[in-house]
Every structure is written in structure tokens, then in C-alpha cells.
């Protein structure tokens, strides 16, 4: 809530061309306008 997606520490593009945006140990990937995958490394 009130998270600003334009700020991130680094990004990773996987072999399928999907971009993961990282903020330290948390990452997210946009599937569509309505869905976002959030992972912790």
C-alpha cells in the first residue's frame, strides 16, 4: 500500500525474458496489470 514500484536496487532478466525487480532480498515480477508475483531470496 503506497509502494512505489519505480524504486528498486537491481533487476534480473531470466532465460524466458521475464524481468524481476529487487529491493534487497525481495523481488517482484509483473504478470499483467492485475497480477504481481512477489518472492523472497
The domain limits of the chain are: 10-40
Q: What is the pLDDT of residue 41?
A: 78
Strands 10-13 and 36-40: unpaired
Q: Measure the CA–CA gap between 1 and 14, rounded to whole angstroms.
A: 27
Closest CA to 13 of 2, 27, 25: 27
Average pLDDT in the 29-34 region?
Answer: 85
Q: What is the pLDDT of residue 20?
A: 92
- Dihedral over alpha carbons 23, 27, 31, 34 (to 10 degrees): -60
Strands 36-40 and 19-23: unpaired
The pTM of the whole model exceeds 0.75: no
Average pLDDT in the 6-30 region?
Answer: 89
Is pLDDT at 1 greater than 70 in this prediction? no
Amino acid at each position: 500500500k503506497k509502494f512505489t514500484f519505480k524504486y528498486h536496487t537491481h533487476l534480473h532478466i531470466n532465460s524466458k525474458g521475464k524481468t524481476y525487480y529487487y529491493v534487497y532480498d525481495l523481488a517482484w515480477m509483473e504478470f499483467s496489470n492485475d497480477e504481481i508475483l512477489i518472492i523472497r531470496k
